Structure 1
Amino acid sequence: MTVNDDSFTHWKNREEIAESMIPIIGKLHRERDVTVLVHSRSLVNKSVVSILKTHRFARQIAGEELSVTETLPFLKALAALDLGPSQIDLGMLAATYKADDRGLSVEAFTAEAVAGATGANKIERGEGRDVVLYGFGRIGRLVARLLIEKSGSGNGLRLRAIVVRSGGEQDIVKRASLLRRDSIHGQFQGTITVDEASSTIFANGNAIKVIYANDPSEVDYTAYGIKNAILIDNTGKWRDREGLSKHLRPGVDKVVLTAPGKGDVPNIVHGVNHDTIKPDEQILSCASCTTNAIVPPLKAMDDEYGVQRGHVETVHSFTNDQNLLDNYHKSERRGRSAPLNMVITETGAASAVAKALPDLKARITGSSIRVPVPDVSIAILNLQLKREATREEVHDYLREVSLTSPLRRQIDFITAPDAVSSDFIGSRHASIVDAGALKVEGDNAILYLWYDNEFGYSCQVIRVVQHVSGVEYPTYPAPAV
């Protein structure tokens, strides 16, 4: 047998193993509300090739490829347990098992590692929580995709309605079409049909009522059978407590804003300060995409090295707030053509850091340049540290943070030497550390942080909503603190 034949045989064997994993992963998700991950990347509803690619990605960050032959025994062990709702990371299980020297079997080790999700310790499956989207723009449609994707078990978040202003003839058909196809993020994964008579979009079996209203005061959500709902305002029209309180109508219990909140509205960055949300808090903000991108790595660096001061420069993709061609705009420079220019503009991300990290004493400044790409941005975080470090030390620290820390869902890490912005379209992390661009000299560190300002941010929004709704399930093995 030639080397080529041997390589192909090896690939086919791994394909067969990955194929055998799919029904186990699907059954755990549908019947027990268990999400199977590999290094924070979900394997639910993934193809054979996607499962293999997810395993292979570990090589970039952990130094060696993770094989499905290593993770399959752990998956089979999980299937045999009395599991409750949880998230279980096969990559972490395999890594911690390899480091364990007690000689336990895979079955015994797995049972011990996920004990908090089994038997008397497991969380009981709830009835789910209603969600309403107020607005259906770029973030609204991506949040809708994520909600539909995560509704497989029927016991989590349930997208019940979308509230928009009527756009005229065939409004619902056009909105469904925008949900079905996206020029940046591709096709919707599933089926979408429309019932114009009942003003309902059916997406993968989810019946989503489209409610037409010009103002929050016009809607009584209980009339649509909606109760105790979390409303996600993705219009950005109201930013303070007084304005957002208009959404607290019959059937709505909490309001989550997908833009920086003003005044006393809490700005939440999941992974950093989501545990400060008070149970009775009805109004909160998920801050901005850039705030979500810089705060987790800023916290990680401050925890380990201390930060004296810093500056963040964001090179940001253009947005719908800018003009396609030169035209009047209330903000300076944003009236100039977005696809033809680099546009210097302001960012509130630096000032928002204080709300998410009140214990950080460092002064953080910021500025932004909009550039002619439709998605994915980069934040250049220039930090003066409280102690000197080496590039190798910071490199290894951030890699470990991305793998094993409580921030591993927020911070990703890439070593690819030819990575460019389009490579990060669809990233579910708040930001991705570009290892090749990292610069450290003495007490100065410069981090280059890629982020999908649309999809990555939408994932952060969903995490906050899951947390306040009570369906954010614990992850096993527990990340290192």
Structure 2
Amino acid sequence: MTVNDDSFTNWKIREEIAESMIPLIGKLHRERDVTVLLHSRSLVNKSVVSILKTHRFARQIAGAELSVTETMPFLEALTALDLGPSQIDLGMLATMYKADERGLSVAEFTAEAVAGATGANKIERREPRDVVLYGFGRIGRLVARLLIEKAGSGNGLRLRAIVVRGGGAQDIVKRASLLRRDSIHGQFQGTITVDEDTSTIVANGNAIKVIYADDPAHVDYTEYGIRDAILIDNTGKWRDREGLSKHLRPGIEKVVLTAPGKGDVPNIVHGVNHDTVKPDEQILSCASCTTNAIVPPLKAMDDEYGVLRGHVETVHSFTNDQNLLDNYHKSERRGRSAPLNMVITETGAASAVAKALPDLKAKISGSSIRVPVPDVSIAILNLQLAREATREEVHDYLREVSLTSPLKRQIDFITAPDAVSSDFIGSRHASIVDAGALKVDGDNAILYLWYDNEFGYSCQVVRVVQHVSGVEYPTFPAMAV
């Protein structure tokens, strides 16, 4: 048999195993609210090829490809356990099992590693928490996709309504069409129908009421059967506590802003300071996409090396805030054509660091350039460290952070030598460390951090909403803090 024959036979074997994984993953997800991950990447609703590619990607961060032949026994072991709602990482199970020297079987090791999600320790399934989207633009529609995707997964969030200003004839049909098709993120994964008579969008069985209002004060959400909901404001129109408090209407318990908050509004970056949210806090912000991209790696670097000062330069995709063609704009430069120019502008991400990382004493400055791409940005984080380091040391440290640390859902890591911005469309991480571009010289480190400023940020928003809803399920095996 030739090498080519061996490779093809191996592929067919792995393909067959991946096919057999799909119903097991689906059953755990649907019946027990268990989300199966592989190095923090969900395997739920993934195709055979996607499952195999996710296993192969482990080579980028762990140094070796992870085979489905290695992870399948752990998945089978999970199906035999009395599991409660949780997230379970097959990649971590396989990695930790290899390092374990006690001679346990896969079943024994798995039962021990996920004991916190079984038997008397398991969390009982909760009733879904109502969510309302106020505004239905770029972030609003992506958050809607994520909420619909997770509706049956045990994350406990149920999108009940969206609030928009009336747009005239066939408004709801047009909004549903924008949810169904996206020029950047592709087709909606599922089915969408519209009931114009009841002003309802039904997406994958989720009935979403479309409420038309020009002012938060005009809406009583209890009239639509909505109770104790979390409202996500995607408009950015109100950013301080006084303005956002207008949303605290009958039926709404908490308000989450998808823009940097002003004044005493807490700016929350999931993975970094989400555990500081007080249970009685009704208003909070998810900061900006750039803040979410730079704060997790900044925390990681400060924890290990100490950071004395830093500067972040973001090369950012253009947004709807800019003009397609030259026209009047209240801000400097943003009136010039977005798809035709690089546009120097400001970023509030550097100043927002202090809210998310109050213990960081380093001064962080920042600036930004908008460039003619529709999505995915890069932050160049230039740091003066408290001690000297080598490039190899920082490289290996950040790879390990992306693989095993509590920040692994926020920080990704890539070694591909020809990676470009479009490769990161749809990334669910807050930022991705580009290993090939990393520069370290003594006490100076320069990190190049890619981020999908639309989808990656939307994932962070949903994580914050899950946390404040009390429906953020624990991940096993548990990571050391």
Q: CA deviation at 1:153?
A: 3.8
Provide the C-alpha distance between the structure 1 equivalents of 2:453 and 2:426, rounded to a whole number of angstroms.
Answer: 10
SS in 2 for 1:316: strand
Q: CA deviation at 1:288?
A: 0.1
Partner in structure 1 of residue 476 of structure 2: 476
Contact 1:130–1:226 (8 Å) recurs in 2 = yes
Q: CA deviation at 1:480?
A: 2.6
Q: CA deviation at 1:479?
A: 1.5
Q: Deviations over 1:421-450 (max 9, x none)?
A: 000000000000000000000000000000
Q: Deviations over 1:76-109 (max 9, x none)?
A: 0000000000000000000000000000000000
Partner in structure 2 of residue 209 of structure 1: 209
Contact 1:240–1:261 (8 Å) recurs in 2 = yes
Contact 2:323–2:338 (8 Å) recurs in 1 = yes
Provide the C-alpha distance between the structure 1 equivalents of 2:290 and 2:400, rounded to a whole number of angstroms.
Answer: 23
Contact 2:85–2:154 (8 Å) recurs in 1 = no
SS in 2 for 1:10: helix
Contact 1:274–1:464 (8 Å) recurs in 2 = yes
What is the root-mean-square deviation in Å for CA atoms of aligned residues? 0.6
From the superposition, tell whether residues 155 and 463 of structure 1 become closer, same or farther in structure 2 (CA, over 3 Å): closer
Provide the C-alpha distance between the structure 2 equivalents of 1:351 and 1:376, rounded to a whole number of angstroms.
Answer: 22
Q: CA deviation at 1:150?
A: 0.3
Q: CA deviation at 1:318?
A: 0.1
Q: Deviations over 1:290-349 (max 9, x none)?
A: 000000000000000000000000000000000000000000000000000000000000
Q: CA deviation at 1:3?
A: 1.7
Q: Deviations over 1:265-287 (max 9, x none)?
A: 00000000000000000000000
Provide the C-alpha distance between the structure 2 equivalents of 1:302 and 1:6, rounded to a whole number of angstroms.
Answer: 47
Provide the C-alpha distance between the structure 2 equivalents of 1:59 and 1:188, rounded to a whole number of angstroms.
Answer: 29
Counterparts of residues 70-85 of structure 1 (less than 5 Å): 70-85=70-85
Provide the C-alpha distance between the structure 1 equivalents of 2:137 and 2:230, rounded to a whole number of angstroms.
Answer: 18
Structure 2 unaligned residues grouped into runs of 5+: none
> Across the two proteins, how many residue pairs are aligned to each other?
481
Provide the C-alpha distance between the structure 2 equivalents of 1:116 and 1:153, rounded to a whole number of angstroms.
Answer: 19
Provide the C-alpha distance between the structure 1 equivalents of 2:332 and 2:151, rounded to a whole number of angstroms.
Answer: 42
Partner in structure 1 of residue 354 of structure 2: 354
Contact 1:232–1:257 (8 Å) recurs in 2 = yes
SS in 2 for 1:322: coil
Q: CA deviation at 1:353?
A: 0.1
Runs (4+) off by over 6 Å = none
Task: Tell me if 1:323 matches 2:323.
Answer: yes
Identity across the alignment (%): 92
Q: CA deviation at 1:6?
A: 1.6
Provide the C-alpha distance between the structure 2 equivalents of 1:11 and 1:206, rounded to a whole number of angstroms.
Answer: 38
From the superposition, tell whether residues 38 and 155 of structure 1 become closer, same or farther in structure 2 (CA, over 3 Å): closer
Q: CA deviation at 1:2?
A: 2.0
SS in 1 for 2:132: strand
Contact 1:127–1:155 (8 Å) recurs in 2 = no
Q: Deviations over 1:102-156 (max 9, x none)?
A: 0000000000000000000000111110000000000000000000000124661
Report the TM-score when normalising by structure 1: 1.00
From the superposition, tell whether residues 366 and 21 of structure 1 become closer, same or farther in structure 2 (CA, over 3 Å): same
Contact 2:288–2:349 (8 Å) recurs in 1 = yes
Q: CA deviation at 1:213?
A: 0.3
Partner in structure 1 of residue 165 of structure 2: 165
Provide the C-alpha distance between the structure 2 equivalents of 1:335 and 1:418, rounded to a whole number of angstroms.
Answer: 33
From the superposition, tell whether residues 432 and 124 of structure 1 become closer, same or farther in structure 2 (CA, over 3 Å): same
Contact 2:346–2:368 (8 Å) recurs in 1 = yes
Contact 2:125–2:154 (8 Å) recurs in 1 = no
Contact 1:55–1:68 (8 Å) recurs in 2 = yes
Provide the C-alpha distance between the structure 2 equivalents of 1:54 and 1:152, rounded to a whole number of angstroms.
Answer: 22
SS in 2 for 1:294: helix
Contact 1:313–1:366 (8 Å) recurs in 2 = yes
Counterparts of residues 287-366 of structure 1 (less than 5 Å): 287-366=287-366
Q: Deviations over 1:358-406 (max 9, x none)?
A: 0000000000000000000000000000000000000000000000000
Q: CA deviation at 1:9?
A: 1.2
Contact 2:155–2:472 (8 Å) recurs in 1 = no
Partner in structure 1 of residue 251 of structure 2: 251
Q: Deviations over 1:208-263 (max 9, x none)?
A: 00000000001000000000000000000000000000000000000000000000
Q: Deviations over 1:444-469 (max 9, x none)?
A: 00000000000000000000000000
Partner in structure 1 of residue 175 of structure 2: 175
Counterparts of residues 35-434 of structure 1 (less than 5 Å): 35-153=35-153, 156-434=156-434
Contact 2:36–2:42 (8 Å) recurs in 1 = yes
SS in 2 for 1:443: strand
Provide the C-alpha distance between the structure 2 equivalents of 1:154 and 1:428, rounded to a whole number of angstroms.
Answer: 19
Provide the C-alpha distance between the structure 2 equivalents of 1:168 and 1:408, rounded to a whole number of angstroms.
Answer: 45
From the superposition, tell whether residues 404 and 413 of structure 1 become closer, same or farther in structure 2 (CA, over 3 Å): same
Q: CA deviation at 1:7?
A: 1.0
Provide the C-alpha distance between the structure 1 equivalents of 2:225 and 2:155, rounded to a whole number of angstroms.
Answer: 17
